[in-house]
């Protein structure tokens, strides 16, 4: 019998937690519930396959909780929020989130997002079948068998999507990838105009973590008008 996929859901509203629990458990998921941000951070670990965070929680927001959770696990994080402005989405992605669902939403849409994120994570991402060989790109070393990235010997904490973007570029060094090709290769979804901002935010976060220096030698180069490449 296949092991149930585990989802951690954090929301300060007990009625919403109850509804979500009934829906997800009826779909065969193992659900962990947190009533606030600190509880979600405490419960997040490598046994969790997906994390759903309400953004507007008292004490510690979902954004702040996401930042702390990213220090513990690369599991995909889905934000639920009444905010839908692009600036709010950018803030969520910058904190390490993977997707964003604005309220009100249908439970059918929620399940579609959940299954898409789990598919990326377990089939294509951090829990996918490992590749055998180390990939060396200057001071950057990628270990696909363990999903670990190091720079000058020091391990770098990347989200699942950041890791997969870097792996895509590293496995095709010097090849220029447009934002569309990155999105379709990494997210495994059709590309839309707003997807460009999503790719840009993840590239910016990845550059920051890799210590990219635009005034010196960039690791990920922006080929203006065409896309990105890894040198």
The single-letter DSSP state of residue 124 is: I
Asked if the domains at 6-124 and 135-230 fall in one CATH topology, the answer is no
Correct CATH for 135-230 of 3.40.50.300, 2.115.10.20, 1.10.1740.10, 1.10.10.10? 1.10.10.10
Q: What is the pLDDT of residues 163-175, one digit of tens each?
A: 999 999 998 888 8
Per-residue pLDDT at 9: 96
Half-sphere exposure of 17 (CA within 13 A, CB side): 16
- Mean pLDDT within 59-88: 84
Please write the tens of the pLDDT for every residue from 15-41: 999 999 999 999 999 999 999 999 999
Which residue shows structure tokens 């720079």?
151
Average pLDDT, the chain: 85
Q: Where are the domains of the chain?
A: 6-124, 135-230
Question: What gap in Å lies between CA 221 and CA 203, rounded to an integer?
Answer: 10
User: Who wins on pLDDT, 137 or 89?
Assistant: 137
What top-level class would CATH report for the domain 6-124?
Answer: alpha beta
Confidence class of residue 229 from pLDDT cuts 50, 70 and 90? confident
The pLDDT of residue 178 is: 92
- Radius of gyration over alpha carbons of the chain, in Å? 18
Average pLDDT over residues 176-183: 92
Phi and psi torsions of 81, nearest 5°: -160, 155
For 148, the token pair is 């670990």
Contacts within 8 Å (CB) and 24+ apart, 180-183: 181/227, 182/227, 182/228
């Amino acid at each position: 019998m296949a092991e149930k996929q585990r989802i951690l859901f954090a929301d300060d509203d007990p009625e919403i937690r109850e509804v979500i629990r009934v829906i997800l458990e009826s779909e065969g998921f193992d659900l962990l519930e947190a009533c606030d941000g600190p509880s979600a951070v405490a419960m997040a670990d490598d046994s969790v396959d997906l994390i759903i965070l309400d953004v507007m929680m008292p004490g510690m927001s979902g954004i702040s909780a996401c930042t702390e959770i990213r220090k513990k696990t690369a599991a995909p994080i889905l934000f639920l929020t009444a905010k839908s402005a692009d600036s709010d989405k950018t803030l969520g992605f910058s904190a390490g989130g993977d997707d964003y669902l604005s309220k009100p939403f249908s439970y059918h849409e929620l399940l579609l997002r959940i299954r898409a994120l789990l598919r990326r994570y377990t089939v294509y991402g951090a829990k996918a079948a490992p590749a055998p060989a180390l990939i060396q790109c200057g001071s950057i070393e990628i270990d696909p068998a363990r999903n670990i990235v190091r720079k000058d010997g020091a391990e770098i904490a990347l989200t699942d999507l950041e890791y997969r973007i870097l792996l895509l570029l590293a496995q095709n060094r010097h090849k220029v990838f447009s934002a569309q090709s990155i999105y379709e290769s990494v997210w495994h979804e059709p590309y839309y105009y707003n997807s460009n901002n999503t790719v840009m935010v993840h590239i910016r976060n990845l550059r920051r973590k890799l210590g990219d220096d635009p005034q010196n030698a960039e690791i990920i180069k922006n080929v203006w008008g065409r896309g990105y490449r890894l040198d």
